[in-house]
Structure 1
Amino acid sequence: MRIYISADMEGVTGLVDRDDVQPGGRDYERGRRMMALDVNAAVRGAVAAGASDVLVNDAHGPMRNLLPEDLHPAARLIRGRPKQMGMLEGLVAAHDAMICVGYHARAGALGVLSHSFMGHEIEDMWLDGRPVGETGLAQATAAAIGVPVVALTGDDVACAEATDWDPSITAVAVKYATDRFAAELRPEDDARQAIEDAVSAALAAPLAVPEPAAGPAVLEVRWQSASVPATLAGLPGVTATDSRTVRAEGELPALYRQFGVWMRVATALTNQPPYC
């Protein structure tokens, strides 16, 4: 059994503030260790369920957060950037299942460190007319590849978002949001045992190949800065629907990869810090 883990950081056990998750933050070094501990709990669960191959993609920010020496020896690591598929780099149809560790709620939700990909620069996103964040777009893209997302860890708001998007996802809340930069924290050992147990149970169940959406997908993104849509509208297939919103239609996962290009353009234009 081949397992893929996409590891973000905002939804990791114990972390609540940008200083916990951004390089240079006063608690970042602690945060990256906490991230490794949550990932390792998921790896242990996968191994217990019979995984023979576990690939971890460091999917947060600079994508150099996980130190190889801190990772469970059963796992391989994709580290650094740029990555053509970003948070889903390395995911292929040969994987039997995908696990999301440390994920967070989408922009506009009152979850811990909530946002959609780019701090406050992305105000809203829709996939086929449905509000979407990192979780929903990852699940839809994985489904198009032929891989089910079976488990997700994060705060309670992220977990509710995941199960609302796909009720078959097993969600593990490691903290409970009280505001965007505050949470009631689950005890560390309890949270990580819950991650391990949930991943093991999810992988022990029959793994069905997901049904991708029929036909091309439609992705719409509303940006904080009007300069971003004005520039993106120059790309083939991209339409500006108003001064701050762009739209494109295409097959996943190619559309996911194109969205990565949009973010690189937006970063060059705005250079906005996260979580403002």
Structure 2
Amino acid sequence: MRIYISVDMEGVTGLVDADDVQPGGRDYERGRQMMAEDVNAAVRGAVAAGATEVTVNDAHGPMRNLLPEALHPAVRLIRGKPKQMGMLEGLEPTHDAVLCVGYHARAGALGVLSHSFMGHEIEDMWLDGRPVGEIGLAQATAAALGVPVAVLTGDDGACAEATEWDASVTTVAVKCARDRFAADLRPADEARTAIEEAVASRLSAPLTAPPAASGPSTLTVRWQSASVASTLLGIPGVTSTDTRTVEAQGELPGLYRLFGVWMRVAASLTNQPPYC
């Protein structure tokens, strides 16, 4: 059984603030240790369920947060950037399941460190007219590849978002949001035991990919900056619906890869901190 883990940081056990998840933050070094422990809990569950290969993609920020020596020995780590598929780099149709560890709610939701990909630079996103963030876009892209998202961990807002997008996803809430930078934290040992047990249980059951979208999808993004939207119109196939909103049609996962290009263009034009 081949298991793929995409690991973000904002939804990791115990973390609530930008200083916990940004390099240079006063608690970042502690945060990356907490990140590794959540990953290791998921890996232990996968191995207990019979996984013979576990690929972990460091999917947060600089994508160099996880230290290889801090991870379970079964892990094959994808680290660094740029990556053509970003948070889903290395995901293949031959994987049996995706685990999303440390994920967070989308922009506009009241969740711990909630945002969509680029802090406040992205105000809203829609996939085929449905509000979407990192969770929904990951699920839809994995489904297009024929791979189910089996388990997601994060705060209660992220878990609710995952369930709304795909009711078959098993979720583990490691904290409950009190506000965007405050949470009621689950004890660390308890949270990691819950992750390990949820992964082992879900991967021991039959895994079936949800139906993928039929035909091309439409991805729409509203940017904080009209300059970003204007520049993106230079990419063939990108159209605007207003001065700050662009969209494009295409098949997933190609549309996910195109969105990665949009983000690289936006990053070259802006210099905004992620959690303003």
Q: TM-score range by the shorter chain?
A: over 0.9
Deviations 1:145-187 (A, max 9, x none): 1100000000000000000000000000000000000000000
Q: Which residue of 1 aligns with 2:265?
A: 265
**1:220-259 alignment runs, 5 A limit:** 220-259=220-259
Give the alignment of 1:1-276 within 5 angstroms. Answer: 1-276=1-276
Distance apart, 1:209 and its partner CA: 2.8
Q: What's the offset of the Cα at 1:210?
A: 2.6
Provide the rounded CA distance (Å) in 2 between the counterparts of 1:209 and 1:28.
36
Q: TM-score, normalised by structure 1?
A: 1.00
- AA partner of residue 190 (structure 1): E
Runs of 4 or more consecutive aligned structure 1 residues displaced over 3 Å after TM superposition: none
Quick one: distance in 1 between partners of 2:202 and 2:266?
A: 37
Q: Matched residue of 1:197: which SS?
A: helix
The number of equivalent residue pairs is 276
Cα distance between partner residues in 2 of 1:209 and 1:29? 36
Structure 1 vs Structure 2: percent identity of aligned residues? 80
Measure, in 2, the Cα distance between the counterparts of 1:40 and 1:241: 44
Q: Distance in 1 between matches of 2:74 and 2:210?
A: 26
Q: Which amino acid aligns with 2:263?
A: M
CA distance in 1, matches of 2:13, 2:75: 20
| d(CA) in 2 for partners of 1:102, 1:271 | 25
| Structure 1 residue identity aligned to 2:244 | R
User: Which whole-Å CA distance do the structure 1 matches of 2:209 and 2:220 have between them?
Assistant: 27
TM-superposition CA deviations, 1:238-257 (whole Å, max 9, x none): 00110000010000000000
**Distance in 2 separating the partners of 1:234 and 1:55:** 36
CA shift for structure 1 position 273:
1.0
Q: Deviations over 1:98-137 (max 9, x none)?
A: 0000000000001000000001000000000000000000
Quick one: distance in 2 between partners of 1:142 and 1:209?
8
Using the TM superposition, give the Cα deviation of residue 77 of structure 1 relative to its aligned residue in structure 2, in angstroms.
0.2
How many Å apart are 1:233 and its aligned residue?
0.7
Q: Secondary structure at the match of 1:120?
A: helix
Gaps of 5+ in 1: none
Using the alignment, how far apart are the partners of 2:43 and 2:209 within structure 1? 21
1:10-41 Cα offsets, whole Å, 9 max, x none, are 00000000000000000000000000000000
| Range moving further from structure 2, 23-32 or 202-211 | 202-211
User: Aligned partners of 2:195 and 2:111: how far apart in 1?
Assistant: 19
| 1:271 Cα deviation after fit | 1.7
Q: TM-score, normalised by structure 2?
A: 1.00
Look up the SS of the partner of 2:119 in the other structure.
coil
Residue type of the partner of 1:124?
D
